[in-house]
Amino acid sequence: MRKSPQIESSFATRLLIWFDQHGRKELPWQTNINPYRVWVSEVMLQQTQVKTAIPYYERFLNTFPTLEALAAANEDQVLHRWTGLGYYARGRNLLKAAKQIMIRHEGKVPLTINELCNLPGIGRSTAGAIVAICTNQYAVILDGNVKRILTRYLAIGGWPGNSGIMNILWKEAEALTPRNRVADYTQAIMDLGATLCRRTKPKCHVCPLNTDCQALLSDTIDLYPEKKPKKKLPVRETCFLVITDNNGQIMLEKRPPSGLWGGLWSFPETTWQNIELSLRVLSVKPLSTRALKSFRHTFSHFHLEITPIHIQTQANKVNVKIPNINWYRLEDTPAIGLTRPVTRILENLR
């Protein structure tokens, strides 16, 4: 149900009063604000909590301090700085967008919703955050924090990922967003979701919206937002060929640009039945073969059961001339993008 203009104004006013007193104002992307820095932060925060994102953001900006520096980089350099953060398509899209901005927008991040949404990796909410924070002009966001706040405040049932529920939430977000202090409001509502209106153990007793939050008044906070309908994740199996030679080198393979772990470096993959065939294709003659402990890596849509097969070979008998295959010193951390299972295995081998 649509709130009255008075309530809409009260919502923003209370939120801004709270933000002035308690909001976060010293995050790395809140200093030296410019569209590039804000854009990078908003992309990182799409699937990552602030606490986790901060060190990655600082390392990324240290390596690529400007849009020009990012646009001049290659994919390996970008994914190396993204390693461990997950959802690697975000890093690839940042690089693609940076190159497009240099060509199509004269090296300046555009500051309209439509132009931003035409860039890879930027959706409606991310574009709204960039415009609001950088221009202080009216723009609307609907990230995970805002969805949680609005479903509770207005007692909106249904899974927010449903298109019908999403449309309702966008309309409410548009109505509640003020025309003044938009930048502060945008940060305030994200802060409220991150610090008070949390997914678990919300601090309703100190929330500035607790006097008319419909979920709180009906003692149903735990019911909002409704969770995505569960379905059992399938389990897939794979073998990683962890090939090392007697010179302390390890073989890595660059994955295709699209698909699972796109553009990252991993171990050659195979099945139990095809290990010997895969080694012949790689021109590797094993001196020893040993299965390491299997482990599970979970994606959003399936579990991957990984069995590393440690294969030792002689350096002087290795002559791989296969595209996207390279050898790296095991004792070093190569400046390339690595999958999390690979970094885990490398740490154990070292």
The set of catalytic residues is: 42
Closest CA to 345 of 306, 312, 300: 306
Closest CA to 75 of 95, 100, 97, 103: 95
Query: Dihedral through CA 200, CA 197, CA 45, CA 135, nearest 10?
Result: 180
Measured from the Cβ of residue 282, the count of other Cβ atoms closer than 10 Å reads 20
CA–CA distance, 247 with 327 (Å, rounded to integer)? 10
- Concatenate the DSSP letters of all residues of 126-163 into one string: HHHHHHHHHH-SS-----HHHHHHHHHHTT--S-TTSH
Measured from the Cβ of residue 53, the count of other Cβ atoms closer than 10 Å reads 22
- C-alpha distances in angstroms, 265 versus 20, 93, 257, 341, 342? 45, 17, 11, 11, 8
